[in-house]
Structure 1
Amino acid sequence: MRKVVKPPVVLGPPKLLGHVVALLLSAVLLGVIYPSTGWWWLAYVALVPGALLARHAESLWRLVWVSVPVFWVWWVVMLWWLVPVTLGGTMAASLILSLFTTLGWVLIRRLTLHGRLSLTVAVPVVWVLVELLRTRMPFGGFAWFLLGHSQGPWLPEHSASLIQTASLFGELTVTGVVAVINGFIADVMIHSFRTPKPDEERPPFRKRFLGRLAGVTVVGLVVWVAAGTPPFAGETRDPTDSPGVVVSVVQTNEPQDNRQSPSLEDRIRYWHELLIETERAIEASTSLDPDRTHEHVIIWPESVAPVGIDPQTLAWADEKGFTSFGQIEGQIRDLAAVHGVHLIVGAPAYERWVEVELEDGRVGWLPDGPRNSVFHYGPDGRQQSKRYDKMHRVPFGEYLPIVDYIPWLKNMVVKYLTPYDVDYTIQPGDDVVVFDIDENGPVWLRLVTPICFEDTVARLVREMVNTARESENAHLFGLVNMTNDGWFAIPGQGYQRLQMSAFRCVENNVPMAKAANTGISAFIAADGRILELVEADGRHKGFAGSATRWWRSGEYERTLYSYVGENPLVIVCVLLALFGSGLLNRPMSRKAGNSSDPDKMQE
């Protein structure tokens, strides 16, 4: 009997169903690597199906028009916590963000099209550059759900070892580490399951050996660096017996709803609950330092004061006879003075007020150019002269892009396309402000205070910490994130924030205290470990509480990232992308019709 010779197996271009299956598989894997599911290990294979599809897709446009709807839905699901705030905004933002994901698959296809780059190189290069773009644009970017974030801790029992490479070139370094392994696995699958065509020339042994050796070396180096603290990370020494500062974070529980404002009675009740919880935090800090030989710092959440407490607003309120403003500000002063503590207070700053006629014909006043601010009250009860105004505003939530500079169009957008009747936008701050605690004492603490989502903007936090470090004689530097997450009822959003906050600590080698309305409030170490969460009955969100810890003076050396940022990593990725696309070695002239790019040859 004659032996039947089976034809060789050749990986052919996937059809429509193959596109859908591959992209859906990547979408599902990418969806479960973040909290609250948190299956972080799947991040190392999450890009493999999409990368294999991009490598073998016959039609560029089929890849695009399948990817956009799949990842539009993906982004809507991942941003579901934003829907109660703005359904239309969530849908629009998700569509824009899906274009970035699709751009990633398209660029992977381009860089591997003629075999210039393997997937081991192309996947990290592309994903780093696409995430860089997404963190910058549009309107300041959106830095949530970076691939590397999946490796960050979000509970005290989680390790922070896998994000230590962020101290080199920032969060994108960790994205590159994870993406390299995805690309390597995809390359292994291609070479393992692919049988060469009969007329295909087999690469020489030397080339195959060197290629595999290079791949194994790259992946081994990546794993080795990711598993421990890399060089230039910035050593942290925080001895437990060194002098320090006692820090408390206070978590309030004031739900937010843009469809209706809380009643005056509710605001008063929430205010008194804050004062009571602050008293408890002061008791806890006193128990840690009974002799009160160190400074005590109490941190409140963002915009927790129910009225403006800046001097201009207080003077205006006094002139108009609105006594509640002065009474509330007086309670803050008394709280700091009676207990001898520093209060870091989140409150609005109004500065100017304009007279308006209300619908019922009465005269009212509206703030002109409000700001989202942080105030510092010293142990003597006085409001310090320094005030930080939020610099990085949330698009649509705190300002309206484009129309913000066209008053008549802005008024129409506010009236017809937002749930508000009046202009709710805020003005940005101009400069970084550093708050000094006990400048002439044994422990000089310098605090910078990113407000709300500012802690998700790595470049801004880097600028803040570097500004604080300009005073070399300070003993301790710290990040304080004051936020109001009462808009978001889904706990996963808060845990995702914790992951990003851990990256800010590693990147700059400084600890962080996070005070959040409704939670999640926490202390994070300089190496990214979640030290403590405000907790009640196993919950971290939806209640009022506090937590208190020592911040010890130690040696918090500067990281490589604090000096150079992400620039070296980006430059390398850009050069590799240019090489892979053929732009670096393309001839000056090319005859028309001599292109071998299949995208240009499609019907």
Structure 2
Amino acid sequence: MKKKNQNNLRVIFAALSASALMLTLIQPPFGLSALAWVSLVPLILISSPASSPKSLAISAYIISFFYWLANLYWIIPVTAIGWIAFCLYIALHWPIIILSIRFCRKMKIPLLIAVPIIIVGAEHLQGFFLGVFYWRFMSHSQYANTTIIQIADMLGAAGVYFMIAMVNALAAELILNIANGKKFKAPEFTKVVIATVTLTAAIAYGRWRIEQSERFVETGPMVGAIQTNIPQTVKDSPDATEEIFKNLLLENSSAASAGAELIIWPETMIQTVLDDRVLNALHPLTRGNIFDTILRDNARNRCFILAGATGGAPEIKDNNSVELCQKYNSAFLYRPDGTKSPEQYNKIHLVPFGEYVPFKKSRPWLYNILMSLTPYDYDYSLDFGTEYTVCEMAKDPNARTYKFGVMICYEDTIPAIAKNFALDPQGRKQIDWLVNISNDGWFVRFDEQNRVYPSTELAQHAAVCVFRAVENRLAVVRSVNTGISCMIDPLGRVVNGFAAGNLPSNAMSRKGISGWFADKVPIDKRVTFFSKHGQMLDISCEICLGGLIIVQLLAGVGKILFRKGRVM
């Protein structure tokens, strides 16, 4: 019996390792996206009611932990201890998945229905971790499969991985039937038909949306994006601030000369405060006021400049010194008339540990523990923005006014952010495109010879952003420190090439280099079901998964009570 259990445990570990390997290879930069459609088959096959739930849960947790350690290695430079702690937490999702599938198999619930609901529910649960971690979903592996991802404008990214999970479930069920010597009868045929029709319908829908886009997409203004290549250690150095600003101005001049009407700078590349509330309280010759004046002069009679810097509210001390009583990660829009837009965008969803330490007010004891995991010995927390500020631009009073929304850093990974920008309260499209400014220099390694070693985070970040474009039929222009700066059209296609610029033509290869590009932004008039209704599929599946977990817990408690009753 002991030898049999050991052999069973080896099979479980081997199957889970196979799924973990495939789930690794499907994501960029490896890009073996076809494996996604069978990547869960080993995991489903070993989720057998005959296997010990304890063995399954422990094995799943161990393999999941190492899966996340390997695939989130790029967090190490930010916080090595936090990397381990985060992986310990997020590894809990695999045991939830595998035990839920086991329970459904035990209850004879068709896998074709159960597995997609469990997977979509679990991935949405993962995305809810402190509100930000929508990362490495199976749908993200399909970012370059333009046809299949078009259903995201109805169901979001969840629609894509619902289909992927359905195909995996069907394959696993057919294998189980063959292994058990079960004949191919009407129920099995029905399942094949359901999966085939669903997949065919999704492909047909995707082709239809692509073909009709020419009727709804018009050409917008020339928009430029600057990509810096600044290590985080250098960026934080006071001596480098002026040099970085000078280089940004040079790139800005090149893009403006090429005809760019709007030029986008990466997140927080200006290492000073540009908020007028603070600047008005400071001496005119402080760095912030000097940079502000230079930006106004560079925008005057040339272009709009969207710059990432610090925002905040001033507090005047008794000695007349100025401190920030509020501090934001912000985007400021400078205009060709030499003024700055009075409304700035303050980042709404902050990155835990990167931009704030959670539980400061609600759980001080936990906050102190978490602070010890960060690389800083002071509280660097920012304040949360509250307004979805819509930026406006027009060449002159008689020209068309274009509108766009700004997503800072990982806000482009959160479906609700782009959705909330897309429509006005009356359900009408209120912006023409989206902008993503980010600093991914945290996740790029520079050696002593200043050679660059980009991580897998860069390509994966761009892949996630693709779905915000499709969900809302909005082009996304990305300006990212260390890459990947690019334009994504409303069909989710990462655009290679540009009208002008010096970055590589292949967009996904723009990693660990500096430069700029400028191109006409496409404007799609279509209003999507997703923009109106959001993550209905994700939430529905999460509710179903929650109910399934409760039923499992009640069944487990009932079993324990029954055993105790028999003993008594």
Q: Which TM bucket (shorter chain)?
A: 0.7 to 0.9
| Residue of 171, 177, 194 corresponding to 1:185 | 171
Q: Is the CA contact 1:14–1:56 (under 8 Å) kept in the aligned structure 2?
A: no
Q: Equivalents in 2 of 1:298, 1:12: separation in Å?
A: 63
Does residue 55 in structure 1 map to residue 45 in structure 2? Answer: no
Alignment partner of 1:130 is 2:106: no
The whole-number CA distance in structure 2 between the counterparts of 1:468 and 1:549 is: 31
Question: What does residue 220 of structure 1 align with?
Answer: 196
Any conservation in 2 of the 1:233–1:560 contact (CA below 8 Å)?
Answer: no
Which position in structure 2 is the counterpart of 1:200? none
Structure 1 or 2, whichever has the larger Rg, is 1
Partner residue of 1:517? 481
Higher mean displacement: 536-545 or 450-459: 536-545
Cα 1:570–1:57 change in 2 (3 A) is farther
* 1:527 aligned partner: 491
Aligned counterpart in structure 1 of residue 393 of structure 2, from 430, 437, 442: 437
CA distance in 2, matches of 1:327, 1:263: 19
Q: Residue 563 of structure 1 corresponds to which residue in structure 2?
A: 532
CA distance in 1, matches of 2:318, 2:208: 58
Structure 1 unmatched ranges of 5 or more: 1-10, 154-158, 197-204, 287-295, 358-362
Q: Distance in 2 between matches of 1:423 and 1:403?
A: 10
**Cα shift readout 1:292-342 (whole Å, capped 9, x = no counterpart):** xxxx11111111222111112212221xx6532211111100011042x11
CA contact (8 A) 1:448 1:468 kept: no
**Aligned mates of 1:241, 1:391 — CA distance in 2:** 29
2:264 to 291, 299, 309: 299
Match in the other structure for 1:334? 297
1:150 aligns with 2:141: yes
Normalising by structure 1, what TM-score?
0.82
What SS is found at the alignment partner of 1:432? coil
| Among 474, 477, 487, the residue aligned to 2:442 | 487
Please tell me the residue identity of whatever aligns with 1:515.
S
Residue 221 of structure 2 corresponds to which residue in structure 1? 245
Q: Which has the higher helix share?
A: 2
Q: Secondary structure at the match of 2:64?
A: helix
Work out the percentage of aligned pairs sharing the same amino acid.
27
Q: Give the aligned partner of residue 313 of structure 2.
A: 351
Q: Residues 315 and 582 from structure 1, CA distance in 2 versus in 1: closer, same or farther, beyond 3 angstroms?
A: closer
Q: Is 1:24 matched up with 2:10?
A: no
**Correspondence for 2:241 among 246, 258, 267:** 267
1:171 aligns with 2:157: yes
CA distance in 1, matches of 2:220, 2:259: 12
CA separation of 1:56/1:386 partners in 2, compared to 1, >3 Å: closer, same or farther?
Answer: same
Q: CA deviation at 1:263?
A: 3.4
1:411 deviates by 6.9
In the alignment, the residues of structure 1 paired with residue 201 and residue 397 of structure 2 have an alpha-carbon distance, to the nearest angstrom, of 40
Following superposition of structure 1 onto structure 2, how do residues 46-125 of structure 1 map, counting pairs within 5 Å?
Answer: 46-115=39-108, 117-125=109-117
Q: CA deviation at 1:566?
A: 2.3
SS at match of 1:351: strand
SS at match of 1:246: strand
Query: Which residue, 250, 254, 257 being the options, matches 1:283?
Result: 257
SS in 1 for 2:344: strand
Asked if structure 2 preserves the Cα contact closer than 8 Å seen for 1:469 and 1:477, the reply is: no
Query: Hey, what's the Cα distance between the residues in 2 that align with 1:168 and 1:574?
Result: 19
TM-score, normalised relative to structure 2: 0.87
Supply the distance in 2 between the matched residues of 1:242 and 1:104 (Cα, whole angstroms). Answer: 44
Contact 1:232/1:559 (CA < 8 Å) preserved in 2? no
Give the drift of 1:243: 5.7
**Contact 1:251–1:519 at 8 Å: present in 2 too?**
yes
After superposition, give the CA deviation of every residue in 1:87-125 in whole Å (9 maximum; x if it has no partner).
11111111111101221111111111121x222222111
Confirm or deny that 1:396 pairs with 2:349.
no
What is the total number of aligned residue pairs between the two structures? 543
Contact conserved, 2:427 with 2:532, CA < 8 A, in 1?
no
| Residues 466 and 492 in structure 2, CA contact (< 8 A), matched pair in contact too | yes
Separation (CA, whole Å) in 2 of partners of 1:69 and 1:162: 33
Using the TM superposition, give the Cα deviation of residue 590 of structure 1 relative to its aligned residue in structure 2, in angstroms: 11
Distance 2:407 2:487 in 1: 15
Distance 2:455 2:545 in 1: 39
SS at match of 1:515: strand
Deviations 1:64-93 (A, max 9, x none): 111111111110111111111111111111
- Check conservation: 2:458, 2:484, Cα contact below 8 A: yes
Using the TM superposition, give the Cα deviation of residue 437 of structure 1 relative to its aligned residue in structure 2, in angstroms.
1.9
**RMSD of equivalent CA atoms:** 3.4
Shift, 1:390, TM fit: 0.4
Q: Distance in 1 between matches of 2:114 and 2:70?
A: 28
- The letter of the residue matching 1:394 is V
Deviations 1:532-571 (A, max 9, x none): 3773497412222111111245x52111111222225643
| One-letter amino acid of the counterpart of residue 291, structure 2 | I
Letter in 1 for 2:258: A
